[in-house]
Amino acid sequence: MTTRTLEPVAPAPSTVRRRRSGLEKAKARAGWLLLAPALIHSVIFVAVPGVIVLALSFSEFRLLGSPDLVGLDNYVTLFSDSKFVQALINTVIYTLAVVPLAMALAILVALGLNQRIRFRAAYRTLFYLPVVTSTVAVATVWLWIYNPSSGLGNEVLSFLGLSRSGWLTDPGTALSALIAIGVWQGLGTKMIVYLGALQTISPELVEAARLDGASKWQIFWHVTWPGLAPAHFFVIVTSIAGSFQVFDLVYVTTQGGPVGSTNVLTYDIFQNAFGNLKLGYASAETMAMLLLVGVFIYLGRMTQRNREE
């Protein structure tokens, strides 16, 4: 009796293996089925374009006809193209100003919001709103704020007893005016990430340091600051990549002017590709930009590593 009832419950080891491997196969099949659309899509719309832009950068292509290979010609031309060089310098200045400024302000705001305060969610919303609103719309608003004759910007300056500014119409101030918008709009994302990191720092650790007689500054530098390290990686990478991609802002406010003072790489690429139909040359500019983003991210990581030691 007992053996008979047990038999069906415990089948021979070979059947178990066969059934399990059948199950594993079914799982793998389902996995591929679920993965296939995303894989195929990403190859066509991300990976292949990535290869195309590299190939195009070595060719001349004016959209009609087929591309002609020209070797490194496009890259050589870059160095003597004063518009490209200026766009490069402007982009680097923009990045070097926006990224550290927005990071520093974001850390300060995050430290403030990490206190036991009332209305924390309301404050957080205020600082995050510029992130979720479209750059085109907020750029239009800033265009009006920076209006030299009756904009809010000059009213504030006169209220403070300062002389009025031409803002975006003055080649000397236009890029700085855009940097201010960049900091304003980029602050919120970084603040949220830092706030998340601060909330992972254990209060016990802070209390222990305090009991050991650490001063407030020591606690900040040796407990709080290292606790922000994981957030720095994400913030540095995304904000450098993001500030190199500034386009909507420039397109709406200045179109690269006055006299090229706000021409940035993405705007120059856009103009060369779709205005002048120099797609090969624009691709070479794109590759140069990609290289520069990589170098910047690498350097940004290096400064972080040094500070941690």
Partner 1 sequence: MSSIVLDKVSDKSGVRGGREPGARTGRIVLYVLLTLGGFLMIVPFVWMILTSLKSLPELASFSWLPRALHPENYFNALAAAPFAMYFRNSIFVVVGQTLPTLLLSTCAGYALAQLPVQGKKHILNYFIVLLVVPFQILIVPLFLVIRAVPLAGGNDLFGQGGTGWVNTWWALIIPFVVSPLFIFLARQFFVSLPADLADAARVDGLSEIGIFFRIMAPLAKPAFVTIALFNIESAWNGFIWPLVATSSEDLRPLQFGLATFAQSSASGGAVQWPFLMAIATIATLPMILLFVFGQRYFVAGMANAGLKG
In the complex with partner 1, which residue's Cβ is closer, 3 or 254? 254
Site residues (CB under 8 A) for partner 1, limited to 67-96? none
Report the alpha-carbon distance of residue 8 to residue 11 in Å, rounded. 6
- Do 260 and 175 form a contact (C-beta atoms < 8 A)? no
Single out the residue of 11, 49, 226, 275 in contact with partner 1 (rule: CB under 8 A). Answer: 49
Distance CA 261, CA 169 (A): 10
Cβ–Cβ < 8 Å for 244, 92: no
Q: Is 192 in the site for partner 1 (CB under 8 A)?
A: yes
109 in contact with partner 1 (CB under 8 A):
yes
Contact letters (x/-) for partner 1, 10-39, by CB under 8 A? -------------xx-xxxxxxxxxx-xxx
Residue from 87, 175, 177, 289 binding partner 1 (CB under 8 A): 289
In the complex, the smallest distance separating the C-beta of residue 277 from partner 1, rounded to whole angstroms, is 11
In whole angstroms, give the CA distance from residue 74 to residue 58. Answer: 7
Residue 78 CB, shortest distance to partner 1, in Å, is: 15
Buried b (16+ CB within 10 A) or exposed e, 66-99: ebeebeeebbeebeebeebebbbebbbebbebbb
Q: Which residues ranging from 225 to 264 are in contact with partner 1 (CB under 8 A)?
A: 230-231, 233-235, 237, 241, 244-245, 247-248, 251-252
152 makes contact with partner 1 (CB under 8 A): yes
Q: Does 174 bind partner 1 (CB under 8 A)?
A: no
Does residue 295 touch partner 1 according to CB under 8 A? no
